[in-house]
Amino acid sequence: MATPTPLREPTFLILTALARESMHGYGIISDVAALSGGRLALRPGTLYGALDRLTDEGLVERDHEEVVEGRLRRYYRLTETGRSVLTAETERLRRNVEAASQRLRARPAGTPAGGTSPGPLTLPGATARPILRPTGGPA
């Protein structure tokens, strides 16, 4: 099954969490929360559904199991395909960030921070009266 690109944020963060080492469900949930600055709180039902989908797509596979204090812990790891997809997505995002950063740095000095809008469209020689006005109301 083909992986839709660009990856959705939860998918990207699950793959990122597994990039360093194999992890069990609780570890992935904690790591995704940390990676997103606490913004993304995955619930186990959603997480295991996503892991099943990623397993079907060949991006993730089961690693090993252990029983800790009577609870089953199953570890998951990235496959080589998963690592390639994550690398490609990271590169795509990096290029986007770089392009945006360059544009922001290229802003001419003295331009208002609120934006670089050229302002209302005016006729040549008739600068006192704008043709288009930013807000509604009688002309």
Structure tokens belonging to residue 37: 């600055």
Q: How many residues bind another protein (CB under 8 A)?
A: 27
Contact criterion met (CB below 8 Å) for 19 and 7: no
**Which region, judged by CB under 8 A, interacts with another protein, from 42-50, 86-94, 96-104, 111-119?**
42-50
Q: Do the Cβ atoms of 51 and 76 come closer than 8 Å?
A: yes
Q: Based on the shown chain and the rule CB under 8 A, indicate whether residue 48 belongs to the binding site for another protein.
A: yes
Q: Is 136 in the site for another protein (CB under 8 A)?
A: no
User: Which one of the spans 70-78, 91-99, 105-113, 118-126 is the region binding another protein (CB under 8 A)?
Assistant: 70-78
Among 13, 29, 59, 78, binds another protein (CB under 8 A): 29
> Where do contacts with another protein occur on this chain (CB under 8 A)?
17, 21, 23-27, 29-31, 34, 43-49, 52, 68-75
